[in-house]
Amino acid sequence: MNKIGFVFLSIILWGVFGGAIESRAQFSLYNQSHRSSFISSTINNESTLFPSSTLVPPDSNEKCLTIVDKIIFIPVGIVFGTFHGLIASIVIPGDDFSNGIKGGMIGFCIGPFLSYEMFAATRGVKNPLHKFYIKTGGILTVTNYDDSQIRPGYSIGIGRHYHLSDRFGLRGEVSYALRQFLLPSQKIQFSFYSERVVKCYDIDFSVGYINTSILLNFKLLSLQKFNFYITLGPSLSLAVRDDTKLHFLREEEDPDDFNFSYIMDEPGVLFGYPAMVYQLELQRGHWIWQLGFHHSVYDTDDIFPLDSNTRLRTFELSIGYKL
């Protein structure tokens, strides 16, 4: 039910994305047309004050997406992205069925962005304030387990910033994040019908995730050449690489004293989780510095299959560059 709800939330956010981008485009054209009228009036009434050689005519060739484009670019992107995500999922190692779902969901999230860019390029719609950017950084992941130990990871990603106004922007971002932590001396009960045995392991959690995010960007203030922003929005983290290892320590005597239970054919396949992203950002020129916080929105066994109550919180320090 949580996954279905997140899909509906994503659809709503795509509607907001499309409406915001195109409303801003129309607002720009509206302002330009009114500025053009004002300039024309000024030329007619005060031509002696403004010689014609000094006046710059407005760009009458500015283009925008058609009404049909605005209606179909999001569903076209969803279908296009989901289909190609399913095809691309064959390169992900592991269970083919779950990989197909993951690939389709990744394509579902990034497809509308690609569709908008293709429609805009086809129609000749250009906005120099829309920028691609790349970023990389280090991450630290903490859990809701008292005895977990932090291990560093990393992230690398690419995004597209859509300028809505001097204060607001919208971003689509996809990144790869390696999240790691250590659970030392964990007792795992293995059960197979009436047989039970408890063994002690160090659990070395190491999972690579593809994160797809839709983020709202707000400028807090400007100070000389620096701009300060806050960014937030939903994200979907899907596990694409599982290198978690169990390091055997010893076998325990008490079969009823354990931290996790391994019943028959468990653990299951790692899937992923919906999350929220919060970032503080500093920009100067093309350079971007970010301090981010990424956390799962509920406890789930799709993070660590041996327990249904796992929740991850990731802190990230990254540097980026606007292309």
Residue 278's SS3 state is: strand
**Interval 95-116 mean pLDDT:** 84
The domain segmentation of the chain, as residue ranges, is 1-127, 128-323
> Does the pLDDT at position 33 exceed 80?
no
Q: Give residue 262's pLDDT.
A: 76
Residues 6 or more apart whose CB falls under 8 angstroms from that of 120 comprise 65, 126
Band of pLDDT at residue 43, cut at 50, 70 and 90: very low
> Does the pLDDT at position 112 exceed 60?
yes
Q: Give residue 24's pLDDT.
A: 45
Average of per-residue pLDDT values in the chain: 80
The torsion of the CA quartet 232, 233, 236, 239, rounded to 10 degrees, works out to 0
Task: Provide φ and ψ at 122, rounded to 5°.
Answer: -65, -40
Band of pLDDT at residue 274, cut at 50, 70 and 90: very high
Which bin fits 16, alpha (ψ -120 to 50), beta or left (φ > 0)?
A: alpha
DSSP 1: -
Q: Give residue 95's pLDDT.
A: 65
Burial of 106 (0-12, 13-18, 19+ CB in 10 A): buried
Percent share of the chain, pLDDT over 90: 39
Q: Give residue 207's pLDDT.
A: 93
DSSP 145: -
Band of pLDDT at residue 265, cut at 50, 70 and 90: low
Are 228 and 217 in contact, with CB atoms under 8 Å apart?
Answer: no
Task: Provide φ and ψ at 2, rounded to 5°.
Answer: -65, -40
Is the whole model's pTM more than 0.85, yes or no? Answer: no
Are 212 and 165 in contact, with CB atoms under 8 Å apart?
Answer: no
Residues 6 or more apart whose CB falls under 8 angstroms from that of 306 comprise 188, 260, 261, 262, 266, 267
> Does the pLDDT at position 323 exceed 80?
yes
| Spatial distance between the Cα atoms of 194 and 166, rounded to a whole number of angstroms | 67
Residue 71 host element (H or E)? helix 67-88
Min mean pLDDT across 60-69, 72-81, 119-128 is at: 60-69
* CATH 2.40.160.20, applies to 128-323: yes
Q: What is the pLDDT of residues 169-208, one digit of tens each?
A: 999 999 999 999 999 999 988 887 778 889 999 999 999 9
> What are 250's two structure tokens?
């010893």
